Amino acid sequence: MPETKTYTGDCHCGAVKYEAKIALGEVMSCNCSICQKRGHLLTFIPAADFRLLSGEDKLKDYQFNKKRIHHLFCSDCGIESFARATGPDGQEMIAINARCLNGVEPTELPIKHVNGRAF
């Protein structure tokens, strides 16, 4: 089990910044319509382990299909560095795009491929 660390993350232009406590190990690559087009590598954490530092006013919300996930992207640069949702257990959670974490090399992370098109 990887060690839990506090990471910082941000969008491309730096307007949206956050910190997150993550035991960063395997990340998920999903082939659903949005993840495939955006190239996300996702890890999931409880909402209590996430803190938005700046950019609340820059976040735009996009929802589709069953509207369960709030895909939040920066209105300046268009990058979705995280999303908010409710997990299957009913708990609030954050989906972190590991590609937006500072000091993390995404190509070094183990990747689990998920068939999101099937859902």
Q: What does the alpha-carbon distance between residue 20 and residue 42 come to, in Å, rounded to a whole number?
A: 13
CA trace torsion 51, 57, 60, 63 (10° rounding): 50
User: Given this model, what pLDDT does residue 17 score?
Assistant: 98
Give start and end residues of each alpha helix (H) in the chain. Answer: 33-38
DSSP assignment of 9-42 equals EE-SSSSSEEEEEEE---EEEE-SHHHHHHT--E
Structure confidence by residue, pLDDT tens digits, 82-116:
999 998 899 999 999 999 999 999 989 999 999 98
Q: What does the alpha-carbon distance between residue 4 and residue 65 come to, in Å, rounded to a whole number?
A: 33
Average pLDDT over residues 33-44: 92
**pLDDT band at residue 66, thresholds of 50, 70 and 90?**
confident
CATH class of 4-108: mainly beta
- Domain ranges, ordered by start, for the chain: 4-108
User: Given this model, what pLDDT does residue 25 score?
Assistant: 93
